[in-house]
């Protein structure tokens, strides 16, 4: 018991530093606090000679970081609290503890270094490397990457060249410089400040450059009905939310529209059963094509889809979401789980959704070539790299699952980063959350606030030429990290 209590006490400081590091994530955006907390954590892990002590500190720091940044994970369980609320604390504990294993791995990588400085470099690079791994392992969950703390600052412009993990590399290198600083030798701290200042200045210069407007113009109306999850599927509320979207769709136009967008699963019927609703929506749109989130069925399989109707109300295109949320939209080994009555948390039709064939480009005529994303798909930058270049990105989402605090803002921030990475404008329509538009450099075009009903008309800006990240993805950063870790390991061999 004494040993267990001592271990618990030794983990309090790393857990607290991890929690402070999460303050850089949206909505706070305190990137400077992230750098300071990571610097102290890197120094602490580097000074631990015992490998088990380093692993423990890495895991507890990760648990603090992910508990503080992903606390919104309890929100889906509170939609029907009497039935599901008891699972909320377990979800947070398992999520934070499981994601903390990546930081434990980073602490293990710290062992590549023999000296404290070597261990510090190993741990810092290990944190960035595990950010990369989190985007791919077990279908991936690249939420709350260390590099996300720069979203909303000029530094985020570097993502056009390096992607999100490149921003994580910048974060850990700056923190490493602070961690290695000494009173007698402040050079590493000055180097860290100079690195951030240089990238900040380059990003500000990039933002200051002007682009020609799109020709011909594209104008899109985004509709947010403020359909909260607790009320969204209640039969008595269906008509109310549909009426809100109909009113927004029929509202006067100051200039001609090319597309009207309703958010994810905004229609309470299957696509095959929505004929009259689509006819009414077409009439309200007054000849403007309509894109709407809807569920559809093929036999016993159900899909979370985006359907697009043309000016005459005929179905013109359908996109099926392909990157599904584990346990939210599908259950692994779902056919077997179905036999035991286990169904996906968010699925309203069947026991879970089936995945679509993959990313697609929808040619919407005057509205341009669109890369559609449904909710969670905007979290995965690798899914946006498709052979055909789109004119812009359209995300429909249902952020009411994420609650009213950090979740919706973090999801919005990641969508914003996708625009910068790809050099493509991005528009998003939310059931409730934050409906917004961004240009190809991530600048805000306009938005509807959290938990508000309304609509907004936005002109889609011109796309930029394909960015370096759009061409090469994560490969350059992966190679850079591998070379850095190799250098740390080789230095250890030379000093043995």
**Kind plus residue range of the DSSP H or E element containing 102:** helix 88-109
Q: Strand order in 369-374's β-sheet?
A: 362-363, 369-374, 392-397, 426-430, 435-438, 444-448
Give the angle subtended at the CA of 449 by the CAs of 445 and 451, to the nearest 5°.
150
**Alpha carbon distances (Å) from 226 to 282, 346, 450:** 21, 18, 8
Structure tokens at 214: 């799109």
Give me the helices (H) in 218-315, please: 229-232, 235-250, 275-285
The catalytically annotated residue of 75, 232, 264, 377 is: 264
CA distance 470 to 444: 21
The catalytically annotated residue of 321, 329, 377, 441 is: 321
Burial letters 7-17, b for 16+ CB under 10 A, else e:
eeeebebbbbb
The catalytically annotated residue of 329, 375, 377, 441 is: 375
Q: Please state, as a whole number, how many other Cβ atoms lie within 10 Å of the Cβ of residue 429.
A: 30
Phi, psi angle pair for 196, to nearest 5°? -65, -40
**Alpha carbon distances (Å) from 432 to 94, 224, 429, 448:** 27, 6, 8, 9
The DSSP annotation for 413-467 comes to: HHHHHHHHHHT--EEEEESSS-EEEE-TT--EEEEE-TT--EEEEEEPPPPPSPP
Nearest to 383 by CA among 355, 347, 350: 355
Q: Which residues 6+ apart lie within 8 Å of 263 measured at CB?
A: 223, 224, 225, 293, 396, 397, 398, 429, 430, 431, 435
**Catalytic residue status for 375:** yes
**Catalytic residue status for 343:** no
**Catalytic residue status for 211:** no
- Residue positions annotated with a catalytic role: 264, 321, 375
């Amino acid at each position: 018991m004494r040993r267990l209590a001592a271990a618990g006490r030794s983990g309090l400081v790393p857990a607290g530093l991890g929690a402070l590091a999460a303050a850089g994530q949206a909505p706070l955006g305190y990137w400077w606090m992230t750098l300071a907390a990571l610097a102290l954590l890197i120094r602490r892990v580097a000074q631990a000679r015992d490998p088990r002590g380093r692993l423990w500190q890495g895991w507890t720091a990760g648990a603090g970081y992910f508990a503080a940044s992903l606390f919104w994970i309890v929100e889906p369980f509170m939609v029907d609290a009497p039935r599901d609320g008891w699972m909320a604390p377990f979800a947070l504990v398992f999520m934070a503890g499981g994601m903390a294993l990546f930081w434990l791995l980073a602490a293990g990588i710290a062992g590549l270094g023999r000296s404290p400085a070597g261990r510090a470099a190993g741990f810092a690079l290990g944190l960035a490397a595990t950010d990369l791994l989190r985007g791919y392992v077990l279908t991936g969950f690249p939420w709350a990457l260390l590099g996300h703390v720069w979203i909303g600052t000029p530094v985020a412009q570097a993502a056009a060249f390096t992607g999100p993990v490149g921003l994580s590399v910048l974060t850990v290198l700056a923190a490493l410089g602070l961690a290695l600083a000494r009173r007698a030798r402040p050079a590493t701290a000055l180097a860290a400040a100079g690195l951030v200042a240089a990238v900040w200045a380059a990003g500000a210069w990039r933002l200051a450059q002007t682009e020609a407007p799109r020709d011909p113009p594209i104008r899109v109306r985004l509709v947010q009905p403020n359909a909260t999850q607790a009320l969204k599927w209640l039969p008595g509320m269906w008509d109310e939310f549909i009426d809100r979207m109909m009113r927004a769709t029929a509202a006067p136009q100051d200039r001609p529209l090319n597309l009207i967008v309703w958010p994810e699963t905004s229609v309470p019927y299957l696509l095959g059963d929505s004929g009259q609703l689509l006819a009414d929506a077409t009439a309200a749109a007054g000849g403007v094509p309509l894109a709407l989130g809807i569920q559809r069925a093929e036999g016993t399989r159900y899909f979370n889809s985006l359907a697009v109707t043309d000016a005459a109300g005929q179905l013109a295109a359908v996109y099926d979401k392909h990157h599904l949320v584990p346990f939210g939209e599908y259950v692994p080994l779902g056919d077997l789980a179905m036999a035991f009555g286990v169904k996906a948390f968010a699925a309203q039709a069947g026991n879970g959704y089936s995945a679509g064939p993959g990313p697609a480009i929808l040619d919407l005529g005057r509205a341009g070539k669109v890369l559609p994303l449904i909710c969670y798909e905007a979290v995965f930058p690798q899914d946006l790299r498709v052979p055909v270049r789109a004119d812009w990105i359209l995300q429909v989402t249902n952020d009411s699952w994420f609650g009213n605090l950090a979740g919706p803002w973090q999801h919005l921030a990641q969508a914003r980063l996708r625009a910068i990475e790809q050099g493509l404008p991005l528009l998003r329509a939310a059931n409730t959350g934050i409906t917004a538009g961004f240009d190809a450099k991530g600048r805000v075009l306009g938005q509807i606030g959290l938990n508000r009903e309304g609509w907004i008309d936005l002109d889609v800006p011109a796309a930029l030429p394909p960015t370096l990240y759009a061409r090469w993805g994560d490969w350059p950063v992966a190679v850079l990290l591998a070379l850095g870790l190799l250098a740390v390991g080789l230095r250890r061999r030379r000093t043995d």
